[in-house]
Amino acid sequence: MPIQCDLCPKACVIAPGQSGECRIRVNVDGRLLAVTYGHPCAVHVDPVEKKPLFHFRPGTAILSLATVGCNLHCRNCQNWEISQQDPETAPPAYDLPPADLPRIARRHECASVAYTYSDPVVFYEYTLDCCREAHEAGLDNVLVTAGYVNEKPMRELCANVAAANIDLKAYSDAFYRDICGATLRPVLNALVLAKSLGVMVEVTNLVIPTLNDSDGMIRDLCRWVARNLGRETPLHFSRFTPHYRMRALPPTPAPTLDRARSIALAEGLHHVYIGNVARPGASDTTCPSCGRVLVRRRGYTIVENALEDGCCPDCHTEVYGTWN
């Protein structure tokens, strides 16, 4: 008989032998199984800045893993080779049970683990069990997600998560429906919930020419972040490059990203960054009170870290983040 999945707002009703929209949650003999459990297709050691996380243990390495599948179908997807694949046609997978994760992280001198690349929401049970194993072993967990998830599973997951970078693709329900096959409100709810549960939250907005790059759309997004997550919440504007089903648009011009950053700063956000293209000073962390450069970056490399116990050494203002 069909089973309804209650993981995300799509609430897929899945017939026997079929999968939900994410491709990996399958009705097997009347049980809903995530068929990629324990079999990530990508396992890498990355700099934490690549997530991107600029306020969480800067300069450290993070073990990063993903399985195929995603519950969104963004036409501009930057990781479509794995996120939009079926398990049967996916790249070769590894055998990595959750219990083995801490040993592998320590072998590669990683103090944290990221669930990333596709979306950890769809391989939820695997993410949840890995988070519990990592947390018990003294490792931190990081989510890199589009945040399209129901409250109960998100709340359970956040119990063992230290930090998250959550995409806010546009402050527009029409954009989510037209470009992503989703809706806006659940993402906003997930962002607020994660922050309220003590997760160190950073936000990424991929700026796409003609679709979400107007001053009005950028300003609306920045105002929502400031009002609902706090002005201290780091915001990353990332450069779009043509991929997947959106190859006709040009890459985001660098001046557009500069303009987005200027709007965000004018709206009172303290920490605004530009990604996927080098812009002078746009990857540095500065003191929100006195303006001193506290963490200077070149790409993913930390050139200077002047923070003292998470505070500015000049004016002693505490800076949002996990710095040890």
Whether 287 contacts 276, CB under 8 Å: no
Model pTM score = 0.97
- Domain assignment of residue 135, yes or no: yes
180 plus 314 within the same structural domain: no
In this structure, the answer to whether residues 165 and 224 fall within a common structural domain is yes
Whether 96 and 147 map to the same domain: the answer is: yes
pLDDT score of 91: 72
Is 122 strand, coil or helix? coil
pLDDT of residue 87: 85
H-helix or E-strand spanning residue 177: none
Would residue 94 count as lying in a domain?
yes
Assigned domain for 70 exists: yes
Q: What is the CATH number of the domain that holds 239?
A: 3.20.20.70
N-to-C CA span, the chain: 51
Confirm whether 3 is domain-assigned: no
Residues 289 and 323 in one domain: yes
Sorted by sequence, the CB contacts under 8 Å of residue 294 that are 6+ apart come out as 284, 285, 286, 287, 305, 306, 307, 312, 319
Q: What is the pLDDT of residue 86?
A: 86
Residue burial 215-251, b: 16+ Cβ < 10 Å; e: rest: eebbbebbbbbbeebebbbbbbbbbbbebbebeebee
Tokens 């683990």 correspond to 113
Q: Are residues 129 and 226 in the same domain?
A: yes
Distance CA 117, CA 128 (A): 16
**How many domains does the chain contain in total?**
2
**Residue-level pLDDT at 191:** 98
Q: What is the pLDDT along the chain (324 residues), one digit of tens a residue?
A: 899 999 999 999 999 999 999 999 999 999 999 999 999 999 999 999 999 999 999 999 999 999 999 999 999 998 899 999 888 877 788 999 999 999 999 999 999 999 999 999 999 999 999 999 999 999 999 999 999 999 999 999 999 999 999 999 999 999 999 999 999 999 999 999 999 999 999 999 999 999 999 999 999 999 999 999 999 999 999 999 998 999 999 999 999 999 999 999 999 999 999 999 999 999 999 999 999 999 999 999 999 999 999 999 999 999 999 998
Q: Is 226:267 a contact under the CB 8 Å cutoff? A: yes
Angle between helices 215-228 and 254-266 (to 10 degrees): 40
In a domain, 313, yes or no: yes
Q: Are residues 112 and 46 in the same domain?
A: yes
- The pLDDT tens digits for 227-286 are 999 999 999 999 999 989 999 999 999 999 999 999 999 999 999 999 999 999 999 999
* % of residues, the chain, pLDDT over 70: 100
Question: Has residue 208 been placed in a domain?
Answer: yes
Query: Angle, to 10 degrees, between the axis of helix 151-158 and the axis of helix 185-196?
Result: 30
* Sequence-ordered alpha helix ranges (H) in 159-280: 173-175, 185-196, 215-228, 254-266
- Residue 88: per-residue pLDDT: 80
**266 & 291 share domain:** no
Is 24 inside any structural domain? no
222 shares its domain with 311: no
In a shared domain, residues 184 and 291: no
Let me know whether 177 and 309 are in one domain.
no
How much is the pLDDT for 310? Answer: 97
In a domain, 67, yes or no: yes
Residues 6+ apart with CB under 8 A from 269: 222, 225, 226, 231, 233, 235
Are 275 and 304 within one domain? no
Give the sign of the dihedral formed by CA 250, CA 121, CA 106, CA 57.
positive
Same domain, 43 and 120: yes
Q: Cα angle at 318 between 314 and 324, to 5 degrees?
A: 100
The range of the structural domain enclosing residue 196 comes to: 36-283
